[in-house]
Amino acid sequence: MKKLISTTLLFLSFMTSAEQVDQNVSVSKYNTFVFDKPYKALVFEPGSQIDEPIPLAGNNGFLLRIKASASKSFQLVVELTNGETVQFILKPSQSTKGEVYRRNGAGIYANPEGQRARPSDNWTVETLKSAFLHQTPVGFMEEGKPKFSEIGDTQLLPIKRYTNNLYEILIFEVRSDTAKEIQPRDFWHEGVEAIQLEGDVVSPKHRPILFILRSVSKNG
Cβ contact 26:97 at 8 Å: yes
pTM of the prediction?
A: 0.55
Computed over every residue of the chain, the mean pLDDT equals: 82
How much of the chain exceeds pLDDT 70, in percent? 84
Radius of gyration of the chain (CA): 20
Query: All domains of the chain, ordered by start, with CATH?
Result: 4-105 (2.60.40.1550), 121-215 (no CATH)
Residue 132 has pLDDT above 70, yes or no: yes
CA dist 111 and 109 (Å) reads 6
Confidence band (pLDDT; 50, 70, 90) for 90?
very high
d(CA 13, CA 216): 36
* pLDDT tens-digit series, residues 24-63: 999 978 888 988 888 999 999 999 999 888 887 678 888 8
The residue ranking higher by pLDDT, 5 or 94, is 94
3-state secondary structure at position 158: strand
Task: Give the pLDDT mean for 141-152.
Answer: 92
Strand 201-202 and strand 192-197: pairing? unpaired
- 168, containing H or E segment: strand 167-176
Between 12-16, 21-25, 158-162, 166-170, the lowest mean confidence (pLDDT) is in 12-16
* Non-local CB neighbours of 24 within 8 Å, separated by 6+ positions: 90, 91, 92, 93, 95, 99
Residues forming a β-bridge with 142 = 162
| Residue 16: predicted pLDDT | 46
pLDDT attached to residue 200:
86
Beta-strand relationship, 61-64 and 54-55:
antiparallel
Helices (H), 57-170: 121-132
- pLDDT of 109 > 60? The answer is no
Phi then psi for 174, rounded to 5 degrees? -90, 130
